[in-house]
Structure 1
Amino acid sequence: MAKPPSKVSLVKNVTVYSAYLIVVWAFYRFLFKFPEDIEELFIKPLVWLLPLVFMIRKEGLGLPSLGLTFKNLFPAIYFSLGLGAVFVVEGVITNYLKYGAFNFGANIGSLPLMTSLGLSFATAFSEEISFRGYIFSRLWTALENEWTANFITVLLWTAIHVPIAFFIWDLSLSAGLLYLGLTALFGFGSAFIFARTKNVWGSIFLHVLWEWPIILFR
């Protein structure tokens, strides 16, 4: 039976992976602009998830260590629906205040609704496996403190969203800070669900529920 990785090894792996992800993804945002479906279905899984295949093999841990399991699936979904409802209501209210009426279609773009929803799930899968399934779970194991691990993960999670906020969407400073604040808030909630269920599917569903209000009032 393989010896489990040490705490120092886990922290080292998370540091290397996080630095790689933030630097490489920032360069990608600055240098390239592919269609959203190509980016979310092919490029992001390649850049974000492929290294994790090697990481978990190196650690001797399997997919369940990333929360890819059916254990506690329904509690995870219930948690995500409850917390996700807060984001949905917030998004609807903000949309109304911004436009003076409910104006959702303008922000979905030219893609069909179900296609946009499918891309949201693809995005959520890559990002939640990376941040909650790997980074948070390893930090939690190594530090033996859920909240410290959550805080560090949120900092990394927020940092990787800075380029898209200011250089892709070209948000104003106030709008960008609001978006990053919501991003951080979601990160705490997503890790909170993961910590109680050890199941990443709840985080994925919550991600979709969080992302759609962002789309609707952007």
Structure 2
Amino acid sequence: MKKHSTQSSKPSKKHSDFTRSTLQILGIFVVWALYRILFHFPEWVDEGIAKALVFGIPVWLYCRSHRRGEDRLGLSNKHFWPGMFLGLLIGGLYQFLAITVLITKGGVVASNSVLNSPMFGYIFFLALLTAWWETLFFFGYVLNVFYDAVGKREIPAVFAALCIFLLFHAPLRFIESGFSLIAWQHLALLGVFAVGQAILYFRSKSVYAVTISHAMWGLMLLVYAV
């Protein structure tokens, strides 16, 4: 009887952990949504300060509450250089795909105007800031929280992280484009991107790889407008 009771309590605990984790992350979403609605600061404030507080604090608390939390998130030194090189490799693949899509559409590859712009350094810096905080939050904190909550199963964790990722990004898309076909296409593209980033994190165990590939993705969309 005791053995049966112990076994039956495990699903209940997992369900409780999943519910608690979901509520915590939804609470963070409410804070972020209120910030975006109530305040309209320059983009560098949103990406460098607001996200550092709203996204960075949960990551810091997660690291403090778990043994070797930095290693669990892929922040240890041993993950740095392998992650950087892998991120650049994935970023190069994104660029190749962007050029291929552009040529297929009959476009002309002319990225020099953006790359030579005096604002390019600032844009690249913002891309890195965005990639850093979103990677830490969505693919470090959220993905690991759900991975623990669902019993170390990757597929349910990736699906849960995907839902949270889209939840945070969908409102802005709908505000900018309404409920148009373009908005849904952008969300579908973001969904594919998020799944790919989650898989990259699980395979590399490095937030550095995911951060660099994220930044390269953003630059690809800007430079090639695909």
Query: TM bucket by the smaller chain?
Result: 0.7 to 0.9
Q: Which of 141, 152, 170 is the equivalent residue of 2:160?
A: 152
Structure 2 residue aligned with 1:15:
22
Equivalent position amino acid for 2:166 in 1? T
Residues 15 and 191 of structure 1: CA distance in aligned 2, closer, same or farther (over 3 Å) = same
Residues 99 and 161 of structure 1: CA distance in aligned 2, closer, same or farther (over 3 Å) = farther
Give the deviation of 1:73 after TM superposition: 3.6
Structure 1 residue aligned with 2:5:
none
Equivalent position amino acid for 1:139 in 2? F
In our comparison, the structure showing a higher alpha carbon Rg is: 2
Q: Does 1:199 align with 2:206?
A: yes
Given that 1:76 and 1:197 are in contact with CA atoms closer than 8 Å, whether structure 2 keeps it comes out as yes
Separation in 2 of the partners of 1:135 and 1:187? 12
Q: Does 1:124 align with 2:131?
A: yes
Structure 2 residue aligned with 1:215:
222
Separation in 1 of the partners of 2:101 and 2:32? 29
Give the deviation of 1:212 after TM superposition: 1.6
Give the deviation of 1:161 after TM superposition: 0.6
Residues 99 and 204 of structure 1: CA distance in aligned 2, closer, same or farther (over 3 Å) = same
Separation in 2 of the partners of 1:66 and 1:17? 18
Given that 2:56 and 2:137 are in contact with CA atoms closer than 8 Å, whether structure 1 keeps it comes out as yes
Structure 2 unmatched ranges of 5 or more: 1-12
Residues 92 and 29 of structure 1: CA distance in aligned 2, closer, same or farther (over 3 Å) = farther
Over the matched positions of the two proteins, sequence identity in percent amounts to 26
Given that 1:10 and 1:138 are in contact with CA atoms closer than 8 Å, whether structure 2 keeps it comes out as no
Given that 2:114 and 2:120 are in contact with CA atoms closer than 8 Å, whether structure 1 keeps it comes out as no
Give the deviation of 1:70 after TM superposition: 2.3
Structure 1 residue aligned with 2:88:
81
Given that 1:91 and 1:213 are in contact with CA atoms closer than 8 Å, whether structure 2 keeps it comes out as yes
Given that 1:88 and 1:212 are in contact with CA atoms closer than 8 Å, whether structure 2 keeps it comes out as no
Separation in 2 of the partners of 1:93 and 1:206? 18
Residues 61 and 152 of structure 1: CA distance in aligned 2, closer, same or farther (over 3 Å) = same
Give the deviation of 1:104 after TM superposition: 5.2
Residues 182 and 62 of structure 1: CA distance in aligned 2, closer, same or farther (over 3 Å) = same
- Segment drifting more, 84-93 vs 45-54: 84-93
Structure 1 residue aligned with 2:6:
none
Cα RMSD (Å) of the superposition? 3.0
Given that 1:90 and 1:213 are in contact with CA atoms closer than 8 Å, whether structure 2 keeps it comes out as no
Given that 2:47 and 2:129 are in contact with CA atoms closer than 8 Å, whether structure 1 keeps it comes out as yes
Equivalent position amino acid for 1:162 in 2? A
Give the deviation of 1:135 after TM superposition: 1.1
Structure 1 unmatched ranges of 5 or more: 1-5
Structure 2 residue aligned with 1:52:
59
Structure 2 residue aligned with 1:3:
none
Residues 70 and 59 of structure 1: CA distance in aligned 2, closer, same or farther (over 3 Å) = closer
Separation in 2 of the partners of 1:133 and 1:140? 10
CA displacement, residues 130-153 of structure 1 (integer Å, 9 cap, x when unaligned): 111111122223322111111111
Q: What is the number of residues matched between the two proteins?
A: 211
Separation in 2 of the partners of 1:96 and 1:30? 39
Separation in 1 of the partners of 2:197 and 2:64? 25
Structure 2 residue aligned with 1:164:
172
Given that 1:131 and 1:153 are in contact with CA atoms closer than 8 Å, whether structure 2 keeps it comes out as yes
